[in-house]
Amino acid sequence: MTTLYERIGGEAAVDKAVDIFYDKIMADDRIKSFFENIDMFAQARKQKLFLTMVFGGPSDYTGKDMRSGHAGMGIDDSHFNAVVENLAATLAELGVSNDDIGEVAKIAESVRDDVLNR
């Protein structure tokens, strides 16, 4: 059995996905304000390491957990949904299968309460 990380194309695919994903985020009026005054190069690097880990690749992520990393940001369900929509659209654009996009959505849903600090 292969990991989600392997099925979507490994490091190169995750790197490309994160770059496209943040282009979509920065164009999305629903959520782009959360990323103002953020070092997007550093943010993308952390996101690549995080997604690699949660998709079953090498575990080199050393950042904050979801709850502490998003505490006090005022994120609600609509913002969370917008992020997941942009991630799904990115993966679809890269030719990731619907089954694998569904698996990514399940992973995201599993951290919803932590991201929303509830």
> Helices (DSSP H) in the chain: which residue ranges?
4-8, 10-26, 40-54, 66-70, 77-93, 98-110, 112-115
Q: Using the 8-state DSSP alphabet, how is residue 3 labeled? A: -
Q: Cα separations (Å) of 11 from 5, 47, 50, 94, 108?
A: 8, 12, 12, 14, 19
Pick the closest to residue 55 from 93, 6, 115 (CA basis).
6
For residue 49, the one-letter residue type is L
pTM for the model stands at: 0.91
Is residue 46 pLDDT above 80, yes or no?
A: yes
Per-residue pLDDT reduced to its tens digit, 63-117: 888 888 888 888 999 999 999 999 999 999 999 999 999 999 999 999 999 999 8
